[in-house]
């Protein structure tokens, strides 16, 4: 008895993979190949469904189209934390919003705003900036970058300039070399004046410390040839007229002395060229020695000898700059170490 032959099933043609958006695989594949180099630059920080809670669901930014939110390998959220202002497209790419190319297209299309104004290509954003995509605020975090500040005891005979036609020694020859940026002098001391001089690598902080509107006191120890009369002291504290405008000392206090040399301590809230010397000259007195001993809350330490510098501790820099105090490092105990006093030989 013969066994009936089994009927063969018709062969099925291979089924193509489809997506929620329908038969667009071929187009998506081609686009993904063309964009791979750009997508590799960006790193996604949000899960595919995280856009609903973190960003809302902006119109025109659906999870399945070119505006979809990508995810990192492993699928874990990675907070976007930046240490300084960065280009808008880089920041949003790191936040997982889209690739840099897509973000550039959105900027051109007017879908992105910064602080209520249309964004521009290459625009940098930093702490305090509010970035919105299709009207929805993007959460971004910036870490605090603490400026560096040096305290230098300037001796007489050095100029506060990088270039001097006369070739005189410059204070910048004494300072440590920065890997990035350069040291900015907070104000100046003339060639024959010694004492406290601050340097920072942050232009905003330098401006904050120098600008007259902040009313930061500078205190000087002044040695005069001759004794100051009460009338001269009154003129100097009430105000006198110099070539570049009125000037006055906030305080003027005697500090002793013998013979023809008398010491005084004066304070003022600005730093015009040779201002202290010119003020005493205006009332007929000659300054034989001038030394700055304080700048705002920073006092010249007796441990810091002439030609030496020390770096200000981070906590004091934050206080000086009006920044939040630094976060203690894990495992840190006790007081921070004393700042080291250093002497750098002039570079030739």
- Catalytic position from the list 39, 190, 217, 244: 190
Report the helix count and the strand count for the chain, using DSSP H and E. Answer: 8, 20
CA-nearest of 136, 54, 144, 65 to 96 is 54
Q: How far apart are CA 305 and CA 195, in angstroms?
A: 9
Report pLDDT for 181.
Answer: 85
Question: Mean pLDDT per segment of 10 residues, for the chain of length 348 residues?
Answer: 51 45 41 41 32 33 36 40 74 81 93 96 87 91 82 97 91 92 92 97 89 91 92 96 95 87 94 94 96 97 96 94 79 63 64
Q: CA distances (Å), 309 to each of 70, 86, 215, 271, 312, in order?
A: 50, 33, 25, 22, 10
Q: How far apart are CA 143 and CA 91, in angstroms?
A: 13
Q: How far apart are CA 141 and CA 147, in angstroms?
A: 19
Report pLDDT for 37.
Answer: 38
CA-nearest of 182, 216, 212, 215 to 199 is 182
Report pLDDT for 252.
Answer: 97
Residue 77 bears catalytic tag: no
CB 165, CB 249: distance < 8 Å: no
What domains, with CATH codes, occur in the chain?
Answer: 35-142 (3.10.290.10), 149-326+338-343 (3.30.2350.10)
């Amino acid at each position: 008895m013969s066994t009936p032959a089994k009927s063969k099933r018709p062969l099925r043609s291979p089924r193509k993979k489809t997506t929620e958006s329908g038969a667009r695989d071929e187009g998506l594949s081609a686009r993904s190949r063309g964009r791979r180099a750009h997508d590799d630059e960006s790193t996604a920080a949000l899960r595919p469904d995280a856009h609903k809670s973190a960003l809302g669901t902006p119109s025109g930014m659906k999870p399945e189209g070119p505006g979809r939110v990508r995810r990192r390998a492993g699928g874990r959220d990675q907070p976007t934390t930046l240490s300084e202002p960065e280009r808008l497209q880089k920041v949003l790419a790191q936040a997982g919003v889209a690739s840099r190319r897509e973000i550039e297209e959105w900027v051109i299309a007017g879908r992105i705003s910064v602080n209520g104004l249309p964004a521009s290509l290459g625009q940098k954003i930093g702490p305090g900036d509010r970035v919105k995509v299709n009207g929805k605020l993007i959460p971004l975090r910036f870490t605090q970058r603490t400026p560096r500040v040096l305290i230098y005891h300037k001796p007489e005979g050095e100029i506060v300039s990088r270039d001097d036609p006369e070739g005189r020694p410059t204070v910048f020859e004494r300072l440590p070399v920065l890997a990035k940026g350069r040291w900015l002098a907070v104000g100046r001391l003339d060639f024959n004046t010694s004492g406290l001089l601050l340097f920072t690598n942050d232009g905003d902080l330098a401006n904050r410390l120098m600008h007259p509107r902040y009313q930061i006191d500078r205190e000087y120890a002044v040695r005069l040839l001759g004794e100051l009369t009460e009338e001269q002291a009154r003129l100097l504290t009430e105000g006198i007229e110099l070539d570049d405008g009125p000037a006055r000392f906030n305080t003027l206090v005697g500090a002793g002395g013998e013979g023809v040399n008398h010491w005084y301590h004066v304070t003022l809230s600005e730093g015009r060229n040779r201002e202290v010397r010119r003020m005493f000259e205006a009332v007929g007195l000659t300054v034989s020695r001038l030394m700055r001993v304080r700048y705002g809350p920073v006092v010249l330490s007796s441990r810091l000898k002439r030609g030496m510098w020390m770096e200000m501790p981070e906590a004091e820099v934050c206080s000086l700059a009006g920044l939040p105090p630094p976060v203690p490092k894990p495992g840190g105990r006790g007081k921070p170490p004393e700042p080291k006093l250093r002497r750098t030989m002039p570079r030739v």
